[in-house]
Amino acid sequence: MLRYAIIFFVIALIAAVFGFTGIAASAAGFAQILFYGFLILAVIGLLIGLVRR
């Protein structure tokens, strides 16, 4: 999931350089959603790991 967030972030950067603001905004939005999803899953995994000990 973090991999897809990075891919969408790179797409957003490339689109921003070429001036495609609509494409850059949507790719950045997808990257942000995927990043926060990954972050939430990482915290949940960490908490589960601590509880099982």
User: Are 2 and 34 in contact, with CB atoms under 8 Å apart?
Assistant: yes
Low-confidence ranges of the chain (pLDDT < 70): 1
User: What distance in Å separates the CA atoms of residue 10 and residue 30, rounded to the nearest whole number?
Assistant: 11
Contact 52, 16 (CB under 8 A): no
What pLDDT does 49 receive? Answer: 87
The reported pLDDT for the residue numbered 7 is 81
Q: What is the pLDDT of residue 1?
A: 62
- In the block, tokens 């990043």 appear at 35
